[in-house]
Structure formats: C-alpha cells, structure tokens
Amino acid sequence: MTSPRLSLMLLLLPTAVVAVDLNVLFLAVPELTADLGASATQQLWITDVYGLVVGVLAIVAGAVGDRVGRRRLLLIGCAGFLVASVLAAYATTPESLLLARVLQGVAGATLMPSTLALIGDVFPDDAARARAIGTWATCQFAFASLGPVVGGVLLHWFWWGSVFLLAVPTCAVVLVLGRRLLPESRPADRAPRVDMLSAGLLMAALLALFTAVKACIPGSATPVPSAAVAVAVVVAAGVAFVRRQGRLAVPFLDLDLLRERVIVVSVTSLTLVAVVLAGTGFWVTQYLQSVVGLSPLAAAVVFMPMGLGIGAGSYAAPLLARRVDPDVLIPAGLVVAALGALLQLTVSADSAPGYAPMVVAITLTAFGCGPLFAFGTHRVVSSAPPAAAGRAAALAETSNHLGSSLGFAAVGSLATAVFALSLRPLASGLDVGAETVTMAQTRAFAEGSPQRDAVLDAIAVAGTEALHAVGLGTAVLLLCCAALNVRRRMPRRASASPVVSRP
C-alpha cells in the first residue's frame, strides 16, 4: 500500500509543470523573437494560446477522465506534454512553436482535472482531502508566480528552448512512478458525455476574439475585412454556445450559475485581475530586457517582487479578515492595486535606474489583488448549490486561465500598438525598418546599427509610453473591478474558510 503523502507529492509535479508553463515564456520572448523572426502578432499567439487551450479543454478533460479513468488520462497527458515540450524546445519557426504550444495546451488540459480528481481518490477523509486540495491550490499559485523567475534562471545558462525542457524529467518521473503510487479509478459507465460541439463553439468564439484584438497592432498581418469577420464569428459562435447550453441536459458550462450575483461578480473579478497581472507581467519583462537592457537572470530577480507581492497579499488577507470584513477588504485591495498600476506613469525613460518605480508599482498591484485571490474561488463555490460545487470550481479555474490569455492578447496588443506608433516619429531618419514592430526586434536592430545610441533612446521613449498605457489601462480595469465588488455587500457565508485561487 502506497503512502498518500508520496502520491500527493507525485500529483504536485504535473500541477507545477502546467502552472509554470503559463508564464515561463515572459523572459524568453525577446530571445525567441530574435531567433525565430516572429512578428508581433505571432509573439502574442505563442504566449497566450497555451492558456486559452488549457482553459477551454480542462472542462472537457474532467468528463473524459470520468469515462476512461483518471490515472490513465493523467499518464496520457504527461506523455503528450513531454513530447510537445520537446517539440517546442527545438522549434525552428514561429509556426512550429505555435503548434507545439497548442499541443502543450491540449496535454496540459488533461493534467489539471486529473490531479484534482485523483486527490479525492487518494484522500477519502474529508479533512485530509481539504488539506491536500489546499496544498494543490498553493502549488498552482506558487509555480505560476515563479514561472518567469524559473525562465530567467534557465536563460542565464541555456538557450530559450530550455524553458520547455524543464517539463521533460518531471513528466518522465510521473510516467515511471504513476502506476505504482496512484490508484486507478474505474471508468464510470454513466459518466456524462462531453459535448464537443459546445467546446468547439467556445474555442471558435475565443480564437476569433483574440484574432480581432491582435488585428489592432500596427503592421498586423490580419487585414481589416478579416478582423470584421472575426468579430462576426465571436458574436455568432457566442450566441450559439449560450443557446446550446440552455438546451443540454448536462451543459458543457453551467451558465445557470451566473444567475447568482456573487458568482458573476467573483468570476468577472477573477478574470479581470488575471488580465491585469498577466498583461502587466508580459510587458514589464519585455521592458526590463529590451529597454533597460537587463539580462534574463537580472530581469528575473527584478521581476520577483511581483510574485512575492501576490503571495504576501494572499497570505495577509485571511489575517486581516479577522478585523476587516472581506466585503470591504476585497474592493479596498483592488483600489490599492489600481494605485500601484498608476505608479507606472511615474516611470521615466531618463531616470536612473528607470525601473525602480516600476518594481514598486507591480509589487503594490500584486499585493492589492491578494484578498480577491484569497476569497474569490471560495465565494464562487460556496454560493453555488452543493450539487453544482464542482462545476462552479471549474468555472472559477477556467476564468483564471482565460483571463491570463486574454491579458497577453489585450494588454500585450495595447502595449505593442502604442510602442509601434510612438516609435515611428522618433525613429524617422534612423533607418528603422517597418518590420521592427516589437521591442525585441527593434533592440536587435539597434545592436547592429551605426546609430545604436539614437535607436536605443527611441526605444526607451516608445517603450516607456507603452508602459504608461499599460499602467493607465490596467488601473481603469482594477477600479471597475473594485466598484463591481462594492455595489452590494456579499453574503457572509461566502467569506469564511478562504481557498486560495491561482492568478
């Protein structure tokens, strides 16, 4: 008989891998962009498509695991993630890397629900299961926050593809020990069938939405008519998806849960905060390398306070809740986060070091989001009927993944557009090609230019203006989120026994 603790430790390995890969590319983007010649739009797709696929297909994978066996699905997912990670590490074109990231997302989607379901099989006792799930959630949060740091350390010694190879030994360990340490749940004869049409409609709507958002980037390969078609697809697929959920006996996504205001507010807030943190983290890491000129390792160290801020805020929130009602604590924290975002407007291209106010800003923003992370998922689950608690938890988890991907797409597109538009007049007469849309491409051009210093000055000004746009835009989102949470007091029952939600 195996030890439940050993089983839990093994289940935390794929959990950590999926979480790390959500943000691990932050510091690798400049190097892989220069190496593969990726465009600004391709750069964003490579970053955000992974979370998009995981967010949608994780709902499917939970039902598939009930039908084929959870351990079997976990091992299949680990094998797929291992192969996809190797393909990503040795990709030679932006298209091949994008395909590998999609495959990573498909495999990663099987791992999250499988690990959580297997924890329930390993720990039949309610109290032990609750502690194990808390450890699982903390692992997600911790490794998602440490993803950029892990990437920065690897990039100090190896090439950009090494950030993907971290998953290879981890998945190999699970494949070797999984059959020995994990129980096999019997496939459920009456497990609900997965409605793949609903999954397809949701994926089509989201892909079209991301395509339309990225069409706003100057120099985008998506023409205006194609962007208009994408918007039409968003509307048509979205309407068809909602109508289909109302007709299904077992809906793909239980939209009836959204009739409860607490759930709507909490899910919307978790999504918006994920947009803010993912988008801010993406642009800040590019700024640290392409404008400030830090190495990946140095940028990882400078960026670390953002992850620590999330941890500190999430840890402090339950302690503060002993004296301050969480209904007050959550919007107050979001206001603090918005003030942190506004501090990015104080960053100057001429200051030395220019990134010092930015570090304070991102740390304060992350810390202010802590109360929402501490209480958000629990509000969703506790406000749902007991029979729908699992579906409510899936809704909260999906909002995190999709919010992060939308942050890369929306905030990344905003920042890239402002950078490109600001650079054009600054770079006139400097022979900067029209193809140098991203900061990484422009920085690479500057290193080989006889006008290196002038080009770097233009990059600094344009990059800082883009950072200001990110700060202002995310501050508006956070203030809207705060207002949403104070419009009506939440029920007291939703504020006890917080469960940490992964950003």
- Position 366 scores a pLDDT of 87
- Position 436 scores a pLDDT of 47
- Position 187 scores a pLDDT of 55
Model confidence over 207-262: pLDDT tens digits?
Answer: 888 777 776 666 555 666 777 888 888 888 888 888 887 787 777 776 777 777 88
Lowest-confidence range among 399-408, 471-480, 493-502? Answer: 493-502
Instruction: Determine how many CB atoms are found less than 10 A away from the CB of residue 83.
Output: 16
DSSP category for residue 256: G
> Per-residue pLDDT for 390 more than 60?
no
> Per-residue pLDDT for 500 more than 50?
no
Cα(173)–Cα(190) distance, integer angstroms: 32
DSSP category for residue 166: T
> Per-residue pLDDT for 185 more than 80?
no
Instruction: Determine how many CB atoms are found less than 10 A away from the CB of residue 160.
Output: 25
List helix spans (H) across 69-195: 70-89, 94-122, 126-157, 162-165, 167-181
> Per-residue pLDDT for 358 more than 80?
yes
Average confidence score pLDDT of the chain: 77
What is the average pLDDT across 397-412? 77
What is the average pLDDT across 140-157? 73
What is the average pLDDT across 393-414? 75
Q: Evaluate the omega torsion of the peptide bond into residue 326 and state whether it is cis, within 30 degrees of 0.
A: no
Which is more confident, 134 or 347? Answer: 347
What is the average pLDDT across 322-332? 84
- Position 219 scores a pLDDT of 55
- Position 335 scores a pLDDT of 92
* Domain chopping of the chain, boundaries: 1-180, 195-251, 257-503
CA 467 vs. chain centroid, Å, equals 19
The amino acid sitting at 118 is L
- Position 503 scores a pLDDT of 42
222, burial (CB in 10 Å: exposed 0-12, middle 13-18, buried 19+) = middle
Instruction: Determine how many CB atoms are found less than 10 A away from the CB of residue 492.
Output: 10
CA angle, 158 then 38 then 303, to 5°: 50
> Per-residue pLDDT for 496 more than 70?
no
CA angle, 149 then 155 then 159, to 5°: 150
> Per-residue pLDDT for 446 more than 70?
no
Lowest-confidence range among 241-250, 283-292, 384-393, 442-451? Answer: 384-393
- Which of the listed CATH numbers 3.30.499.10, 3.40.50.920, 1.20.1250.20, 1.10.520.20 matches domain 257-503? 1.20.1250.20
User: Model confidence at 167, in pLDDT bands (50, 70, 90)?
Assistant: confident
- Position 337 scores a pLDDT of 93
Model confidence over 221-230: pLDDT tens digits?
Answer: 566 677 788 8
pTM for this predicted structure = 0.74
> Per-residue pLDDT for 2 more than 90?
no
- Position 164 scores a pLDDT of 85
Lowest-confidence range among 125-134, 153-162, 199-208, 487-496? Answer: 487-496
Cα(228)–Cα(183) distance, integer angstroms: 50
- Position 192 scores a pLDDT of 60
Q: Which fold has domain 1-180?
A: Growth Hormone; Chain: A; (1.20.1250)
> Per-residue pLDDT for 478 more than 90?
yes
User: Model confidence at 419, in pLDDT bands (50, 70, 90)?
Assistant: confident
Contact yes or no for 211/409 (Cβ under 8 A):
no
- Position 306 scores a pLDDT of 82
The answer to whether 1-180 and 257-503 have equal CATH topology is: yes
Cα(29)–Cα(45) distance, integer angstroms: 11
> Per-residue pLDDT for 492 more than 50?
no
Q: Percentage of the chain with pLDDT > 70?
A: 77
The amino acid sitting at 459 is I
Lowest-confidence range among 15-19, 38-42, 308-312, 323-327? Answer: 38-42
> Per-residue pLDDT for 475 more than 90?
yes
- Position 495 scores a pLDDT of 43
Which is more confident, 7 or 472? Answer: 472
